[in-house]
Structures are given as C-alpha cells and as structure tokens.
Amino acid sequence: MNKNVIVIGGGPAGLEASAQLQNMGYNVILVERTHELGGHLAKWDRLFPDGVPAKSVLDSLLANIGGVKYFLGTEVQSVNLLEKSYNVILSNGITILANAVLIASGFDLFPAEKKEEYGYGIYDHVITNADLESFFASRKDKQAVPDPRIPLQPQKIGFVHCVGSRDEKIGNRHCSKVCCATAVKQACEIKEEFPQADVYCFYMDLRMFGRNYEDLYLKAQKDYGIRFIRGRVSEVAEDIDKKLVVKAEDTLSGKPVKVTLDLLVLMAGMKNSGAGQQVGSMISLETAEDGFFSCRDSVYSLQKSNKNGIFFAGACTGPKTLPDTLHEARAAALTVHNYMKNFE
C-alpha cells in the first residue's frame, strides 16, 4: 500500500499494534526510546492471575513483528502536520512522512520516593513492586547480584497498596487498576519464597475485578495465609535493628495497628509516561485531569485523539491490564486502517 504508520513506543501495545498494522499491509516504523523492546513487560517475572511467565508473552509479541522496521534508543524530536500527513523527525537523523501516528508510549511507575512517609530510598528494606519483580526474575540468573534490600530470611513482610494512586494529597485520584491483583500475586510468590514469613497486605479497597482474580484472592488467604488489613498506612519508621515499624488503622475493626516488618513492598501505581507526554506536547494532544491522554470520547472513540491522524493504544490513556492493552492495540490498528481510507 506504501502508506506509512509510525508507532511510538515499543511496549506490548506498540508491538501488538505494529504486528497487526503490518499484517494489514502498512509500512510500520516503530520507535522506542530505550534500548530494548517490551516496556515494563520485559522487566516483569510472572503475570496475574495464573502466573504466566512475562517472557513467554513478550516472546510471542516479538515473534509477530518480523517485517516491522524499528529503531531502538531513538526519540521523536518533532512532529509537524503537512497537509494530511505528519512529518516526524527522529533523534537518529531519520525523517518519516507518516499517514498516521499511533502513540503507544505506555506508563511510568509512580516514583515511590515522593511518598516520603513510606521511606523508599531512605530506609534499607523498603522496595517497590517493580523491585520485587526484578528479584523474582533474577532468581533464575546465577550471575545476578542479590538485592541487599531483601533480607535473606525475612520473618514479616508487608505490602502497601495504592502508592501514588487514589491519593488526594499528591494529586493522583485515579486507581491504577492492576496493583491490587499484582500485590496479591506477589504476596503469594513471596510466601512461596520465604514460607516462614508472615505476609500482610495493607489495602484501602481490593479491586480484584477480572476473571479468576477473586479466586487468586481467596487462595492467597486460604492456601498462603496472607493477612489482609483494611487501612491506609500512616507512618513507617526504622528502628535501631533496621526493622520497619509500620502504623496503620484497621478501618474494619476501628483499631490502630502497629507491625514490625523486615521488608516493606510499595505498590507503586501508574502515571502517564513522561516521554509520551513530551511527544504529546509537540502535537498539542489533550491530557485529562489524571495526566493521561484524553480520548476523543470515552465510549466509542477510545483510540482516537483530538487530532486527525493521531491514535492511541494502551496505558497512555489510563491504567490497563496487559490483556486490555493488547485488545486495545488491535482495536487501534483497525481504527488506523479505517482512517487510511481517506488516502485512497
């Protein structure tokens, strides 16, 4: 067809959309600013609800992009509308005239150090969900250096939900959607790793909305003995033995809770990718109050932006599970395909 589509972002949404568009006969140019494809998926170990290895999903996505031209370590420097096409200049000096631009820039994890009261980057044994996933992934690598923040034999481990999400104080009211299920999955996995440990989850609401997620939650309680405490952690302090003293209020019993832990895992939520926002500002894409890109409407045109010829796929328009991201990438490819009829 000789019609160009540039896909910005080489995570799951960008990979799946690229594969679909290529199958439809378009010249697809995929641009990824880091030096590897796969986004957060490439750093994840296993996926909820049933523990599928992230690598197997990524390998399938990569196997489908055979004919897609991609540039790694490359950023978008400018995007300008020329009649009905976009002139896109890349940091590697290449200029592409694209009939459509698909933004699949994904999300950044909320920087947990911004919630100072939880002590990330301050206390020795506070880590994030992403750090814990790296730990899980590194167990297969004999050369990997162990994370010194994770004790060898922790006796008590806590998870804090909603870090950087549903938090008026930091201006993020949105729910990041996937971190409840991730916390439950990780709580079970860490219990498998350290069977002697007591594991606590401090949550506000448990949002286990997907198929089989509720089963995972029940299994976590019945088979793994994970203790769920409904209440927001108010304070974390480190004692003289480097243990973490965590205070919260159990809002079900109305009683204050104080637990001394060896390891605390913060469930950092999602925010719109900073790199994606930079590209968005080049084209004046609208963002909503939650910082994610605004879709043309919230029911029928989720893949369309406020600009003709610019489309979205994946978590750049809000937190999504991986299956939702992949479905949306396919929908985005179809939406681009319909738009291309303008060029016939």
Positions in the binding site for ligand SF4 (CB under 6 A): 161-162, 165-166, 175-177, 179-180, 204-205, 207, 267, 269
Cβ distance to ligand SF4 smaller for residue 117 or 205: 205
Cβ distance to ligand SF4 smaller for residue 108 or 124: 108
Residue 331 C-beta: closest distance to ligand SF4, Å? 23
Residue 159 C-beta: closest distance to ligand SF4, Å? 9
Cβ distance to ligand SF4 smaller for residue 175 or 188: 175
Cβ distance to ligand SF4 smaller for residue 32 or 189: 189
CA 337 to chain centre: 27
Pairing outcome for strands 244-250 and 255-261? antiparallel
Quote the CA–CA distance of 28 and 30 in Å, as a whole number: 6
**Six-digit token string for 48:** 């909820």
Cβ distance to ligand SF4 smaller for residue 15 or 267: 267
Cβ distance to ligand SF4 smaller for residue 16 or 290: 290
Residue 269 C-beta: closest distance to ligand SF4, Å? 5
Asked if 54 contacts 47 with a C-beta cutoff of 8 angstroms, the reply is: yes
Other C-beta atoms closer than 10 Å to the C-beta of 181 total 22
Residue 178 C-beta: closest distance to ligand SF4, Å? 6
Instruction: Compute CA distances 261 → 135, 167, 206, 320, whole Å.
Output: 18, 24, 22, 31
Residue 91 C-beta: closest distance to ligand SF4, Å? 34
Residue 126 C-beta: closest distance to ligand SF4, Å? 17
Residue 207 C-beta: closest distance to ligand SF4, Å? 4
Nearest to 195 by CA among 228, 226, 237: 226
Residue 160 C-beta: closest distance to ligand SF4, Å? 9
Cβ distance to ligand SF4 smaller for residue 27 or 172: 172
Cβ distance to ligand SF4 smaller for residue 151 or 291: 291
Task: Give the chain's largest Cα–Cα span.
Answer: 72
